[in-house]
């Protein structure tokens, strides 16, 4: 209320100042005309000139005040009203831009950009919450359903074993999802990399491949490795998540009997890792959204996953001051390049 009163007082003083200047200037102008004989026809009281000056000044003041209101006060009022609406959580307000560039144009343009960005963030937040709820609810409902089925005494041992395998698989899926969400939240709130030490990156990548041995052996996948000795100074636990997720994706989307190429090079003393598979590949739309949380290009969910691996990888890479790039063609495979 105090700021609003101050603003109004300033505008009142501005208008009064304009009107006072108009009175003085009009009076001087009329005096000049009178001296030149232009107003010789005006006779009567000596107050006639001040009176005419006052009338003319009032008219000019009202016109100037109206112009100021339209050009300055009205757009400011729109911005103030828009900010009040934004404070309630509604990010839809947009203020019309002035026709000419200037400070008011920059203010309104910045306000519109702010509301548009906030609206996009709110949409992503709602989408994340809805997807998060769905992704968690699905395995929980599945676990409950098959656990109830196990209580049936007439189940055969074969069916019972099948249901137990499903429960185990869904439990692992839920555990992996929880772990990834916790890791992602942890790295998103982290601003600097701590716990740095020197380690062999080539050995770390080999260990990640061995950890996934059951998965690539099941699909009879071969690896083509070019991993010279490279020492890296960083957080070993964080970088390990990068290779595990990228290699897991490469195995998941490779065709049976396929080949995955992994190469490690250095550029200006910095490591660069390239992982290429000859699998199903991705469309341009999928490629554009692969780092969105919970997004999966495979809408049928025929492959395992929860859409958190690549967002986690990107967060870690950027936290390490690096860059990740992806190139893919449908039916021809995908290449991820990570520079740290």
Cross-strand partners of 273:
264, 338
**CATH number for position 321:** 3.30.565.10
Any idea what the CATH number is for the domain that residue 143 is in?
A: 1.10.287.130
Percent of all residues in the chain with a pLDDT value above 90, rounded to a whole number: 20
Is the per-residue pLDDT at 175 higher than 70? yes
Alpha-carbon span 309 to 238, nearest angstrom: 13
- 22-36, 39-53, 64-78: range with lowest mean pLDDT: 39-53
Q: Is 54 exposed, middle or buried (0-12, 13-18, 19+ CB in 10 A)?
A: middle
Nearest-angstrom CA–CA distance, 291 and 315: 9
Confidence (pLDDT) at 83: 84
206 and 302 within one domain: yes
Per-residue pLDDT reduced to its tens digit, 260-269: 999 999 888 8
Instruction: State if pTM tops 0.75.
Output: no
Taken as a whole, the chain contains a residue count of: 340
Q: What is the span of the domain harbouring residue 218?
A: 197-339
Does 329 score more than 80 pLDDT?
Answer: yes
Residue 13 CB contacts under 8 Å (≥ 6 apart), including other chains: none
209 and 172 share a domain? no
Of 49-58, 97-106, 279-288, least confident by mean pLDDT is 49-58
% of the chain surpassing 70 pLDDT: 71
101 falls within a domain = no
Pairing type for strands 222-226 and 259-267 reads parallel
CB 230 within 8 A of CB 271: yes
**What integer best gives the mean pLDDT of the chain?**
78
Q: Tell me the C-alpha distance between 36 and 14, whole Å.
A: 33
| Residue 108 in domain | no
Whether 26 and 80 map to the same domain: the answer is: yes
- Give the number of other Cβ atoms within 10 Å of residue 120's Cβ: 11
Q: Could you tell me if 105 and 97 are in contact, meaning their C-beta atoms sit under 8 angstroms apart?
A: yes
- Is 28 part of a structural domain of the chain? yes
Same-domain status, 201 and 320:
yes
Name the domain boundary from 90, 121, 143: 90
Q: Is residue 84 within a helix (H) or strand (E), and if so which, with residue range?
A: helix 74-87
Q: Can you tell me the mean pLDDT for 298-314?
A: 66
**Residue 202 pLDDT > 50:** yes
Alpha-carbon span 207 to 203, nearest angstrom: 6
Q: What share of the chain is helix, strand, coil (3-state, %, to 5)?
A: 60, 15, 25
Cα(243)–Cα(231) distance, integer angstroms: 16
Query: Tens digit of pLDDT for each residue in 116-151?
Result: 877 777 766 666 666 666 667 777 888 888 888 888
Quick check: 38 pLDDT over 70?
Answer: no
What pLDDT score does 300 carry?
A: 42
CA distance 68 to 99: 15
């Amino acid at each position: 209320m105090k700021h609003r009163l101050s603003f109004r007082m300033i505008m009142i003083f501005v208008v009064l100042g304009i009107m006072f200047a108009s009175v003085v200037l009009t009076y001087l102008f009329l005096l000049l005309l009178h001296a030149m004989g232009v107003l010789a026809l005006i006779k009567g009281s000596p107050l006639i000139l001040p009176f005419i000056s006052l009338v003319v000044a009032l008219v000019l003041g009202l016109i100037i005040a109206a112009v100021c209101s339209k050009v300055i006060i009205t757009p400011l009022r729109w911005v103030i009203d828009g900010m009040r609406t934004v404070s309630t959580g509604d990010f839809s307000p947009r203020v019309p831009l002035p026709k000419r560039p200037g400070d008011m144009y920059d203010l309104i343009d910045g306000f519109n950009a702010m509301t548009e960005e906030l609206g996009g963030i709110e949409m992503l937040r709602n989408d994340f919450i809805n997807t998060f709820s769905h992704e968690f609810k699905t395995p929980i409902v599945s676990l409950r359903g098959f656990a109830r089925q196990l209580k049936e005494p007439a189940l055969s041992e074969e069916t019972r074993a099948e249901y137990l395998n499903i429960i185990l698989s869904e439990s692992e899926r839920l555990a992996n999802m929880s772990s990834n969400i916790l890791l992602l939240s942890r790295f998103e709130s982290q601003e600097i990399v701590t716990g740095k030490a020197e380690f062999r990156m080539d050995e770390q990548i080999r260990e990640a491949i061995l950890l996934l041995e059951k998965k690539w052996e099941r699909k009879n996948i071969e690896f083509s490795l070019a991993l010279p000795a490279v020492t890296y100074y960083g957080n070993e636990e964080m970088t390990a998540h990068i290779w595990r997720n990228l290699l897991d994706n490469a195995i998941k989307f490779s065709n049976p009997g396929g080949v995955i190429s992994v190469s490690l090079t250095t550029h200006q003393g910095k490591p660069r890792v390239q992982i290429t598979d000859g699998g199903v590949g991705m469309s341009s739309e999928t490629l554009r959204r692969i780092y969105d949380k919970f997004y999966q290009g495979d809408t049928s969910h025929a492959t395992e996953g929860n859409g958190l691996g690549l967002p986690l990888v990107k967060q870690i890479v950027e936290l390490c001051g690096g860059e990740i790039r992806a190139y893919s063609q449908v039916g021809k495979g995908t290449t991820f390049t990570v520079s740290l």
